[in-house]
Structure 1
């Protein structure tokens, strides 16, 4: 009797354990950008996405160009689509640097994600060479950042 009660207790304990998996609905905000070190002009393009808002930023390495920022609305459909394009469990396992970003002026890309519990991670990689785990979201973010490439110029 004691053995079966103990066994039931252990089974109940195992079944009550929660997995520590993170899903895309946990994303509070994400940032994406590109940069080129040996560059004159607008060498850095960044984008910050949150529910309902996207902020585009372009800047240089010095004061030769004036930084440009613009804010646009982001539809809930677009926000949900972008969030679904990343597996957070895989993302948070990636190293901070993949490959040799901006070596020989090849450029760099980065993705930073923060979830609602405050966990934040940034992965930087060679321009045009997204890690396999990030290919889907990086493709979506490249499309999104193109929408803001000419903001505030006219």
Structure 2
């Protein structure tokens, strides 16, 4: 009997450690960031979009802030868009991906990243520009679409 109780407690402990995101539980605890950067670049060489269940904030920056001051645009996150992104997040699986894939920004090919923050935990994966993260292709595509939607941000 003691072995059964101990086994049940251990199983419950293992299950409770899982950090998959379920958008129906606590959408305010999830933030997704995506950005690009180019090493040999003039002008606005870095872009980032930060998406949560309330707002989507886009920022572009330059190495020469005096000539090209940072530009930020913001919009309210549409619930359909948020659900599309949030349902593609599997934080446990994402944390297992190495922080760097390939050779980001080698030969000035550019770098891209996706970062997921769930509660106090965060993990960023940086990869070659316009490539993807194996197993997270749909998430990469969805956050790229949000970043690209700010192409006219001035």
TM bin, normalised by shorter chain, reads 0.7 to 0.9
Q: 1:10 to 1:59 in 2, by over 3 A?
A: closer
Aligned position for 2:21: 24
Contact kept, 8 Å, 1:102 with 1:108, in 2: the verdict is: yes
The CA RMSD over aligned residues, in Å, is 1.7
Structure 2: stretches of 5+ with no match in the other structure: none
Q: 1:65-84 residue pairs with structure 2 within 5 A?
A: 65-84=68-87
Q: Distance in 1 between matches of 2:149 and 2:53?
A: 17
TM-score, normalised on structure 1? Answer: 0.86
1:17 to 1:108, Cα distance in 2 relative to 1, 3 A: same
Task: Give unmatched runs, 5+ long, in structure 1.
Answer: none
Contact 1:86 1:136 in 2 (8 A): no
- Report runs of 4+ in structure 1 exceeding 6 Å deviation: none
Aligned residues: 147
Separation in structure 2 between the aligned mates of residue 136 and residue 114 of structure 1, nearest angstrom: 18
Pairs within 5 Å for 1:1-154: 5-19=1-15, 20-25=17-22, 27-63=29-65, 64-116=67-119, 118-151=120-153, 153=154
